[in-house]
Amino acid sequence: MTVSKDGDRVALVGDCHVEEAETLFGVMAEVREVDLTHCRHMHGAVLQVLLSCRPKIVGAPDDPFLAKWVNPTLAALT
Amino acid sequence: MDDLLKQFLVEGHELVQQASEDLLALERSPGDADLIDSAFRSIHTLKGSVGLFDLGPMSEALHAAEDLLGALRDGSLQQTHPRIDALLASVSQSERWLEALERVGELPSDAVAVGAQLTRQLRAELAGATAQTGAAASAVDTAWVAAFMARQDVRTDSPVVAVRYRPDSQSYFNGDDPLAVVRGVPRLIALEVEAPPADPVNYDAFTCTLAFHLISDAPVDAVRAALRFVADQAEIVPVEPAAAQRPNAGARSLRVDAARIDQLVDLVDELVVAKNGLALVTGVAQAGAEMAEVVARLRETQASIDRIAGGLHRGVMAVRMTPLGPVMRRLPRLVREAAASLGKTVDLSIEGHEVEADKAIADGVFEPLLHILRNAVDHGVEASHARVRAGKPARATVVLRARQRADRVVIEVSDDGRGFDPTAIRAAAARKGLMSDEALSGLDDAQALELIFLPGFSTADGVSDLSGRGVGMDAVRAAVGRMGGQVSLSGAPGVGATVALSLPSTMVMSRIVLVRAGGERFGVAIDDLIETVQVAGDCIVPVRHGRAFVLRDRTIPLLDLADLLGLAGGEDAEGHRKVLIVGSRGEPIGVAVGSIDERLEVALRPLSGLLARAPGVLGTTMMGDGQVLMVLNLTELIG
């Protein structure tokens, strides 16, 4: 399980695979924030859910690619 | 560049322009025989000239366009939207090719493929069939590259590769991970990714809706290799470095009304006469005439040389004056493309073709105007359904208006869109962390508008294909400022917005005042100044890290010009200080100088070469004593 929900925050941890996109979308209505700190990679489908639902992003990913290229885009949407 | 090619480029741009205007007009009045005729003639002439050079792909595409127009002209085919689109695509592409010719002297490496695609599309229309759609048709469209590069403000000295990667909607099922693919692209220097907002009811997490734009400075083969498994979904376009420098590159030639040259010739004749007058004075002096008589004659000659020099200056300026029309006429097609890519319909009306400005101003204003227009289309104009709901016509109207006002040219872009909303602007600035909440709530509405000019500001909620991130009004203000102009905003929320550029109509004569700071002499543009005041030393109070003084019940921060310029010798704080009051971003700021001396009208030379981008310097001028004087741009220095 790499999508873990805690109250109104959800954390993506490690490698998030394509099947997690649906799980993530399922909880999107109930969460306000998504924590990417420990996300190593997210599948395109997971990224798509974040881009489409525009939750507030907290935490800068440790992964340099996500931190440099993906996080700013997500942060700019909210 | 050989003369024939030079001549061809000048004509080529005009023909492309004419054809594009005619085609756009045809959209409004379908089937108009005169317009079809005129477009046909332009394309025909252009095709003929192209034949003189080795420009195969361009020639073929234009030939196909000519045939299609011919069929529309003799009535064997009806005018349809796709046909006009295909023709406009060929005209747009021709313009891009002309620009490439101007820059590097040859067509870009993808010209054969792009040309063949255009030709196919035109021939398909000609055959009465619909052109292929989808991936094939979009191969022609490389406009996204320029838009993306501008948005990302990518300026590079080496070639880069731009990629638009739109994964297949089934790619998740096929086992692709688009983000992993992008991760694999070497040496990324820019990346944009977007997905449309989710529909909460019918969202399908397994249908891919992602779209990526990226730029890499790796060799094109390396980029291709990284994308080899999705080659059918990615457009890979090598971009030559010169692309970033286009605005200054071409169009340095000038077409001048012969009458203006005749005037200059007359003046030069008069100058020769006046010069002979000097010989006469010398003769009189040698013959031992009275000093008084020699002086009187000298005065007379000086007066006439003065008059002629003034006339020559005005004459040369007049030669450089060019109507804004040709620049403004390039805009409607680009606005149309921008609006179409956003699914909006926008009418652009243009007033003031005949208004004239210095050639450098007319050329320099194109990019800022395009930028403002794109902003208006993207952020100002609402989607059609929202417009109808607000009781506005579904078609938006954008007016581009140029006027001469005293010695300045005012160019306004007004739209009837949602207008500037100070509340939304404050909120966006807060979100982006541009200013603290307290500072923001202290701003009145006019000051809140000014936030738009901060680097990194954009009110867009999402990133659209057009003007999302990276393009800022700060860039517009800087570009206009370099030409000695100002940008101002007005409008009411819900009703519309106006962006006005006020530019000097001649770039060359500027009014400056001489000041001293740190023992050196500088010029300051009078246009930058609100007033000059003298402040008693004991009225200047320290405020946190800076200093301030009170002027007419208003506290004004005080800076020292010597400090701003990094010069030694801030003046003594005891006696009176001479202070220039500068309006910066709507706020008066005091700049202390050592002394304020005389005012002058000078011929300002813009900085060139290595110094061209030096911040805070408007240009240089030669003083009567032969010294070079730097003229400062105080607003930029303070900024």
Q: What is the pLDDT of residues B488-521, one digit of tens each?
A: 888 888 888 999 999 988 765 678 899 998 888 9
Q: Which residue in the set A25, A48, A69 is minimally distant from B188, CB to CB?
A: A69
Alpha carbon distance B324, B361 (integer Å): 9
The pLDDT, as a whole number, for residue B473 is: 82
For residue B184, give the H/E element and its range.
Answer: none
Asked whether the predicted pLDDT for residue B622 surpasses 80, the reply is: no
| B193 half-sphere exposure, CB direction, 13 A CA radius | 29
Asked whether A10 and A35 are in contact (CB, 8 A), the reply is yes
Listed in sequence order, the residues at least 6 apart from B300 whose beta carbon sits closer than 8 Å to its beta carbon are B277
The pLDDT, as a whole number, for residue B180 is: 92
Asked whether the predicted pLDDT for residue B568 surpasses 90, the reply is: no
Asked whether the predicted pLDDT for residue B105 surpasses 70, the reply is: yes
B190 to chain A: nearest residue by CA?
Answer: A69
Asked whether the predicted pLDDT for residue B176 surpasses 50, the reply is: yes
B17 pLDDT tier (thresholds 50, 70, 90):
confident
Beta-strand (E) ranges in B187-244? 188-194, 211-216, 234-239
Alpha carbon distance B552, B539 (integer Å): 13
The pLDDT, as a whole number, for residue B183 is: 92
Asked whether the predicted pLDDT for residue A69 surpasses 60, the reply is: yes
A44 to chain B: nearest residue by CA?
Answer: B179
Alpha carbon distance B561, B349 (integer Å): 45
The helix/strand/coil state of B108 is coil
| pLDDT tens figures, B352-372 | 988 988 888 888 888 889 889
Return the percent helix, strand and coil in chain A, to nearest 5. Answer: 40, 25, 30
Listed in sequence order, the residues at least 6 apart from B327 whose beta carbon sits closer than 8 Å to its beta carbon are B362, B363, B365, B366, B369
| pLDDT tens figures, B569-583 | 655 556 788 899 987
Chain A positions touching B212 (Cβ under 8 A) are none
The one-letter amino acid at B573: A
Q: A22 and B178 in contact by Cβ < 8 A?
A: no
The pLDDT, as a whole number, for residue B430 is: 84
Chain B positions touching A44 (Cβ under 8 A) are 167, 171-172, 176-180, 208, 210
Alpha carbon distance B63, A27 (integer Å): 58
The pLDDT, as a whole number, for residue B472 is: 72
Give the distance from residue B471's alpha carbon to the nearest chain A alpha carbon, in angstroms: 14
Asked whether the predicted pLDDT for residue B275 surpasses 90, the reply is: no
Q: Output the six-digit token pair for B534.
A: 């003298």
Asked whether B634 and B580 are in contact (CB, 8 A), the reply is yes
Rg value, chain B, Cα:
29
Asked whether the predicted pLDDT for residue B134 surpasses 50, the reply is: no
The pLDDT, as a whole number, for residue B523 is: 92
Measured from the Cβ of residue B188, the count of other Cβ atoms closer than 10 Å reads: 18
Mean pLDDT across chain B = 82
Mean pLDDT for B584-595 is 83
Asked whether the predicted pLDDT for residue B468 surpasses 50, the reply is: no
Give the distance from residue A75's alpha carbon to the nearest chain B alpha carbon, in angstroms: 9
Mean pLDDT for A62-68 is 89
Chain B positions touching A48 (Cβ under 8 A) are 195, 205, 208-210
Lowest average pLDDT, out of B296-300, B397-401, B470-474, B580-584, goes to B470-474
B183 to chain A: nearest residue by CA?
Answer: A65
- Percent of chain B residues topping a pLDDT of 90: 9
The pLDDT, as a whole number, for residue B246 is: 40
- The rounded Cα B527 to chain-centroid distance in angstroms is 22
Tally A–B CB contacts below 8 A. 79
Give the distance from residue B176's alpha carbon to the nearest chain A alpha carbon, in angstroms: 9
Give residues 32 to 61 of A whose Cβ lies within 8 Å of B. 41-45, 47-49, 51-54
The pLDDT, as a whole number, for residue B130 is: 44
Chain A positions touching B430 (Cβ under 8 A) are none
Asked whether the predicted pLDDT for residue B542 surpasses 80, the reply is: yes
Chain A positions touching B462 (Cβ under 8 A) are 77
B402 vs B184, B506, B556, CA distance in Å?
49, 15, 35
Alpha carbon distance B399, B328 (integer Å): 11
Beta-strand (E) ranges in B436-519? 486-492, 496-504, 509-517
Residue B314's nearest CA partner among B49, B601, B31 is B601
Q: B172 and A69 in contact by Cβ < 8 A?
A: no
The pLDDT, as a whole number, for residue B572 is: 54
Give the distance from residue B462's alpha carbon to the nearest chain A alpha carbon, in angstroms: 6
Chain B positions touching A77 (Cβ under 8 A) are 461-463
The pLDDT, as a whole number, for residue A44 is: 93
Tell me which long-range contacts A55-62 makes (C-beta under 8 A, separation of at least 24). Answer: A55/A10, A55/A28, A55/A31, A56/A32, A57/A33, A58/A9, A58/A33, A58/A34, A59/A35, A60/A36, A61/A36, A61/A37, A62/A37, A62/A38
Q: B193 and A70 in contact by Cβ < 8 A?
A: yes
Mean pLDDT for B256-264 is 85
Give the distance from residue A40's alpha carbon to the nearest chain B alpha carbon, in angstroms: 11
Q: B179 and A21 in contact by Cβ < 8 A?
A: no
Interface confidence (ipTM) of the complex: 0.94
The pLDDT, as a whole number, for residue B400 is: 94
Of residues B575 and B105, which shows the higher confidence score?
A: B105
| B574 half-sphere exposure, CB direction, 13 A CA radius | 1
The pLDDT, as a whole number, for residue B431 is: 82
B176 to chain A: nearest residue by CA?
Answer: A44
pTM score of the predicted model: 0.49
B213 to chain A: nearest residue by CA?
Answer: A69
Q: Which residue in the set A25, A42, A54 is minimally distant from B205, CB to CB?
A: A25
| pLDDT tens figures, B65-84 | 988 888 888 888 888 888 88
Alpha carbon distance B347, B352 (integer Å): 17
Asked whether the predicted pLDDT for residue B90 surpasses 60, the reply is: yes
Asked whether the predicted pLDDT for residue B413 surpasses 80, the reply is: yes
Chain A positions touching B431 (Cβ under 8 A) are 78
For residue B130, give the H/E element and its range.
Answer: none
B526 vs B230, B318, B618, CA distance in Å?
59, 23, 12
A47 pLDDT tier (thresholds 50, 70, 90):
very high
Numbered residues of chain B with Cβ closer than 8 Å to any chain A Cβ = 167, 171-172, 176-180, 182-183, 188, 191-198, 200, 203, 205-206, 208-210, 431, 461-463, 469
The pLDDT, as a whole number, for residue B177 is: 92
H, E, C per residue of B374-400 = HHHHHHHCCCHHHHHHCCCCCCEEEEE
Asked whether the predicted pLDDT for residue B140 surpasses 80, the reply is: no
The helix/strand/coil state of B502 is strand
Task: Please give the backbone phi and psi of residue B45, each rounded to the nearest 5 degrees, phi first.
Answer: -65, -45
Lowest average pLDDT, out of A8-17, B128-137, B262-271, B386-395, goes to B128-137
Mean pLDDT for B427-449 is 82
